[in-house]
């Protein structure tokens, strides 16, 4: 099987993830983010996807450049188990021109309850092309 060179892996990150606005979305379950419209994206309670800026790629990998802070939850969001980078701030995934660019399980599931503020520290969101 063929493999991308580091140059091409870096180019994909540069051209697809750094050259346009991408947003971090949070999910309470893995509902096959590849093909189905996920029903498990957090909603309500002041939840909103957040802009995610990535560092320059190196070795086919990158990470968020700065702290990503979600709004303070005004109701329980449930336990966040998965994340995705998407190409639109608003709309239903796959329903209104919102596409999942990449996705994964979080390292440690986290209950986001009323009054909590979900945060991703700089460098904590790792993305790679392999």
Q: Can you give the pLDDT at residue 125?
A: 95
Q: Can you give the pLDDT at residue 36?
A: 57
pLDDT top residue among 98 and 63: 63
pLDDT top residue among 130 and 62: 62
Task: Assess whether pLDDT exceeds 60 at residue 37.
Answer: no
Q: Can you give the pLDDT at residue 83?
A: 93
Question: Taking Cα atoms as reference points, which of 104, 22, 100 lies closest to residue 68?
Answer: 22
Q: What pLDDT digit, counting tens, does each position of 53-72 carry? A: 999 999 999 999 999 999 99
Beta strands in 18-95 (DSSP E): 23-27, 50-51, 61-63, 68-69, 78-86
Task: Assess whether pLDDT exceeds 60 at residue 116.
Answer: yes
Q: Is 40 exposed, middle or buried (0-12, 13-18, 19+ CB in 10 A)?
A: middle
**12 membership: H or E segment, kind and range:** helix 6-12
Task: Assess whether pLDDT exceeds 60 at residue 86.
Answer: yes
What percent of the chain clears pLDDT 70, i.e. is strictly above it? 91
Task: Assess whether pLDDT exceeds 60 at residue 7.
Answer: yes
Q: Can you give the pLDDT at residue 38?
A: 59
């Amino acid at each position: 099987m063929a493999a991308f060179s580091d140059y091409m892996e870096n180019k994909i990150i540069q051209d697809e993830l750094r050259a346009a606005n991408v947003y971090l979305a949070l999910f309470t379950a893995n509902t096959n983010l590849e093909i189905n419209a996920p029903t498990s994206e957090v909603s309500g309670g002041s939840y909103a996807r957040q802009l995610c800026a990535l560092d320059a790629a190196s070795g086919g990998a990158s990470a968020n450049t700065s702290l990503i802070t979600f709004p303070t939850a005004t109701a329980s969001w449930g336990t966040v188990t998965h994340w995705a980078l998407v190409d639109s701030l608003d709309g239903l995934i796959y329903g209104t021109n919102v596409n999942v660019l990449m996705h994964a399980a979080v390292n440690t599931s986290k209950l986001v309850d009323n009054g909590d503020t979900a945060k991703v520290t700089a460098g904590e969101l790792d993305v790679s092309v392999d």
